Structure 1
Amino acid sequence: MRIYYRAPDVVVTSELFVRHGPSPGRFAIHDLRDVGISPAVPEGVRPGAVVLPAAAAVLVAAAVISVAGGVLVALAIAVLAGAAGLVYAMVCQHRPRRWELRATCRGREVMLYASTDARVFHQVGRALLRAIEAERESPPYADRAAAA
């Protein structure tokens, strides 16, 4: 058995893709189909965590300022809505992009590996690609014993 990649969280060999960590998994290389990369939803602050408090602040400000007149209400709403959008854009920009390696294994879609470290993620992807190519080039399992 040839090892293509080994790290604490994943091992790619000529026969298995093994994921360690919080959600471990073992996948036979010959069972993997439709392997591909997909961007995942970044972890962290969700839009509701910023938009809902900002909307509440706008309503409170509108109620307080409405006594002073309609022009100030419109100005306050515009400034607060813009500030909320700016804060959300800044938070989203600083979240690391998370990539997932997905495949179909025995008829069901599985997530093989995910990482925010692009270098490590692509190393794992290349190792899996080499393992799949080597598996396709080798003779069928029944013929391997006779060939040895």
Structure 2
Amino acid sequence: MSTRTYYRGPDAVVTDEHFVWRTTSTRVFEIRELRHVMVSRQPATHAYPIMAGGAVLLASAGWATLTNPPTLVLGLLTVATAGALAVTLARTRSRTWRLQATYRGRDVVLYAQSDLRVFNQVSRGLRRSMEAARPPTAGYGLVVT
């Protein structure tokens, strides 16, 4: 019997028997042992806007030392750049998407990814693998003669 692969990428592999997440330490989960699989979204980090705000504060603290026109213009450009960077990073913060499940009685994170396209490919592969792993139904008890 050959193993069917539903997704193969640089950081995850989904087959009909296993879900493998290649992270700092590779995590392997048996498909038949997964229960209550769900998708969650982790909020974006606020570190970049805070760092840019700190840069603006530092630039404004050194404002008093700017006396001649060329350094004054350079200071204005620095403050404007730091402000624009803070606004841009605040708008483009990436969210992390997660696949969570119960595995052998424990809550685990199966997979996490900030690229939504890749995350959707992996979760679709897992869904197909889990559907294929379901035991076949006996039907409705109908007898064909």
For residue 31 of structure 2, what is the aligned residue in structure 1?
Answer: 29
1:41 to 40, 43, 52: 43
For residue 125 of structure 1, what is the aligned residue in structure 2?
Answer: 123
In structure 2, what is the Cα distance between the partners aligned to 1:4 and 1:43? 31
SS in 1 for 2:117: helix
2:49 and 2:87 in contact (8 A); partners too: no
Q: Which has the higher helix share?
A: 1
SS in 2 for 1:33: strand
Q: What runs of 5+ residues in structure 1 fail to find an aligned partner?
A: 57-85, 140-148
What is the count of residue pairs matched by the alignment? 122
Deviation (angstroms), 1:91: 3.1
Matched, 1:95 2:97: no
In structure 2, what is the Cα distance between the partners aligned to 1:109 and 1:130? 21
For residue 8 of structure 2, what is the aligned residue in structure 1?
Answer: 6
In the alignment, residue 137 of structure 1 is paired with which amino acid? Answer: P
In the alignment, residue 100 of structure 2 is paired with which amino acid? Answer: R
Deviation (angstroms), 1:115: 1.0
2:4 and 2:15 in contact (8 A); partners too: yes
Deviation (angstroms), 1:54: 8.2
Structure 1 residues 137 and 89 mapped into 2: Cα distance closer, same or farther (>3 Å)?
farther
- TM-score scaled to structure 2, two decimals? 0.64
